[in-house]
Amino acid sequence: MIDRSVFRSLVLAGLFVAVSLAHAAETTRPRIGLVLGGGGARGAAHIGVLEVLEKLRVPVDCVAGTSMGGLVAGAFAAGLSPAEMRSELARADWNDMFLDSPPYTEVNYRNKVISKRFLPASEAGVNSKGLTYQGGVVSGQKIKLFFNRLVNSDLGEREIETLPLPLSIIATDIGNGDKVVFRSGSLTKAMRASMSVPGLMAPVDYQGRKLVDGGLVDNVPIDEVRDHCQADIVIAVNVGSPLMKAEDVGSLLSVSVQMVNILTEQNVTRSLATLKPGDIYIKPDLEGISAGDFVKSSETADRGREAALAVADRLQALAVSDEVYSAWVNRIAYVRAESPVIKEIQVAGLKMVNPAAVERQIEARPGDRLDDKTLNRDMLRIYGDGWFESVDYAMLTARDRNILRVLPAEKSWGPDYLRFGISLESNFRQDSTYGLRLGYDKTWLNPLGGELIVAAEIGNAPGLLLDYYQPLEAQQRYFFDSSLAYGGRPFNLYQDNNKVAEYWRTRGLVAAGVGINVGLLGQIRTGWRQIWQEATLETGIPSAIFPAKSSESYGGEYVTLDFDQMDRLFFPSKGWSSKLAYFNSSQAGYSKVTADVEAAYPIGDFVVSSRLSYQGSLNGPLPYYDAGSLGGFLNLSGFTRQELNGDNIRYGNIRVEKIIGHFPLGLRGDLRAGVALETGKVGTPYTQTQLSGWMNSATVYLGGETPLGPFYLGYGRSDSGSSNVYLFLGTP
């Protein structure tokens, strides 16, 4: 019988021999460099190539990548398996990822108010440099957070120089056209920079440089693996998009895309010319898959797998034993540790914004175990405040304390902004209207976040607006708000389904009040409102209720409760909203109540919605100059906008919409076809007095939220025989 100590010695000796042999095999085999080229969504093919290398037991000694190839190369060098990468790309919502803003439910009420009047994408900065703009359609906020999660940055920043595989990621200095190679520093920043397609994604600021897509200078960086790790054999994967045919190049966009493709193909040709006889070149067949087809990531990966299997005999020659390959896998694999417990939260890098305003959006607290979903939601909430061009984080350990450092980067094109809005509306009769809006938004007037908006509108309803918003404490829960407005607009009278008169109304308003921000749910406010109003008959015959000329001055206290948990401002897919407004004017002898409730619910590609509303007075009848109204798109669509006026108005609808299309990456919105059934009743009518009881309307329409605001083309018909066609684009 063998002594235990002898047995233990034999086992250890065996293990030593095995390790030594594996090490010897490692040192004698050729050094392999893997090169993953750029190509947008076509880069998912790299995952299929990695799957084949894994299947054949082919280890690599260093990796280099550009653009989407940089993303896959970074994830691979960080220890993610091909299966994990395939799963992450397949479940990623790329349409949402290229929209920087957080879910609409996570946007604060103040920003929602601004978005109702001005186009979010129209923002131009005003500073000492004059007018400045965001560097791309997409800031890349969600993309950067996705990269963080992909490589487990929530457990601590992944530095390239500390990764188990030598890694190079290629970017381009847009200022001078130089190639920039990341071999150290933040992994996720390098990945983000390499994927910054000019014009689509904003450049990345790095050491005084602005970096964009590396494909402009080196889309298949073969020389990099030879220089960086002295690779004996190069496996190069090219997934670049081919040049378009001359007859397909016509639009400004297609010309721009073709120019970029030409630059890319030129450097790819030069790079491929450096391949040696022993190198392996893989070019997957990606016919029918464009650079923007991220939703086809699984199919694209399969195409890459097929291409790698086509050269399996050459790859097989690079295979190693099970033992050697297992040792290599264990060396590069990432073993996720337990999420750390946060001991401290720091907000760093702010110059203008009060840190307390950022901290109010952070749900994580010291003592909590870090949760990456909560962390990402917090970052998006902070970004949604509208003051930052990006919000990132870093997990640090100092003196055995886990520190979550939040890193908001204030907008380089702020702190003041010009905002624009448009509205175009027609019923294909004589009631077409248009409006152009310009607003000057001056932010952070003081440490609490005071904001002043001065706006003007020209068109059929010209007007001026001055609004001052002042938070009363650093967390911005309580606020003071005041406004001054003056403008005019046409107002039509209808009787017996015909327009009988047209008035010009001018209105001035002064209001001041205080309010409470109820988290991200909405807002409650109260105050005083004073109104001056005049109306003059332009054409037609006045009615008994509406005189040919009138002038009123009245004021009173108001209370509003406005909660909005819809997922979108216009054409929502899910959620609910409610608004209750009360205005009491003892001067005029009435109290007006307006109530509105709406809900939406998705069922596959369909959205089912409903809305209920009420307009009336609790004390005395509504005066003609502040009457409630029905008419217009999805407000009893068989009637023209504000055709039905009166007191004690009730309305309800139910709508079914089918999503029939989406805008390309980086452009918000979808297109829908919808039908609506509506009903309404004016208890005391001031116009269309011949109508009594409940009125019904049926509506069909095409519409959706576009980059220019909501769009719809609809037709509504009432059971009384009246009908209307609606065309609208812009912000109401």
- Which amino acids are annotated catalytic? 67, 213
CA-wise closest residue to 644 among 615, 676, 617, 621 = 615
Contact (CB, 8 A) for 662 and 623: no
CA-wise closest residue to 665 among 175, 23, 138, 265 = 138
Whole-angstrom Cα distance, residue 451 to residue 467?
8
Two tokens, residue 424: 């175009």
Two tokens, residue 610: 């409903």
DSSP for 46-68 reads: HHHHHHHHHHHT---SEEEEETH
Whole-angstrom Cα distance, residue 465 to residue 402?
48
Two tokens, residue 213: 């897509």
Beta strands 209-213 and 204-206, pairing class: antiparallel
Contact (CB, 8 A) for 457 and 487: yes
CA-wise closest residue to 565 among 99, 102, 106 = 106
Two tokens, residue 49: 């190539």
Two tokens, residue 721: 């025989």
Burial class (CB in 10 A: 0-12, 13-18, 19+), 198: middle
Helix, strand, coil share (%) of the chain residues, nearest 5: 25, 40, 35
Whole-angstrom Cα distance, residue 51 to residue 321?
17
Residue type, 593: V
